[in-house]
Amino acid sequence: MDGITPPDRRNMVAIALYQPDIPQNAGNILRLGACLDVPVHIILPAGFDISDRSLRRAGMDYLHAVTLVRHTAWPQFTTWLSDEPRRLVLSTTQASVAYTEFSFLPGDVLLFGRESSGVPDAIHEIADARVTIPMRSGMRSLNVASSVSMVLGEALRQTDGFPSAT
């Protein structure tokens, strides 16, 4: 690698998608991960085909540039997480702490639920932290890709995790 030391991914913020429903959203998030050099973990089962071919169609030509980890189920993901010194930060409409008021750390894993149903209560209980995006009264939720962009942007800002432009 020409004397360049690759980054220690354990010290980088990561995105985790719990059983995503919509391929276009997953593709958008994979593109975001590629452009910002943020690993994306997909926790299966998904509501669509997550083969490389299908994801390439949804993520355009960015799939080759993203660090993508597929976990066959929630228990496999939690096994990976327990082997890493990371916090699980769940983004949910049921939290009381605004993501802008939360102190993110390098290595945090930002978990986002299914577009149709979020995550089960048991996952809420094991998350190290829960954050929300403040919204106007009466609105249910934002598109998951928009939510990932907002929360990830704040986490990268706080942890000085944006890639260098050079």
Residue 25 near residue 143 (C-beta atoms within 8 A): yes
Provide the mean pLDDT of the chain: 90
Average pLDDT over residues 112-116: 94
Residues 6 or more apart whose CB falls under 8 angstroms from that of 124 comprise 90, 92, 94, 130
Q: What are phi and psi of 89, to 5 degrees?
A: -110, 110
Q: Which residue has the higher pLDDT, 87 or 164?
A: 87
Number of residues written out for the chain: 166
In this prediction, residue 108 has a pLDDT band, given cuts at 50, 70 and 90, of: very high
The pLDDT value recorded for residue 58 is 60
The pLDDT value recorded for residue 140 is 86
Give the C-alpha separation, 88 to 145, whole Å. 18
The pLDDT value recorded for residue 61 is 76
**Ranges of each domain in the chain:** 9-159
CATH number of 9-159: 3.40.1280.10
For the entire predicted model, the pTM comes to 0.91
Give the C-alpha separation, 7 to 141, whole Å. 34
Average pLDDT over residues 110-116: 95
Q: Is 112 exposed, middle or buried (0-12, 13-18, 19+ CB in 10 A)?
A: buried
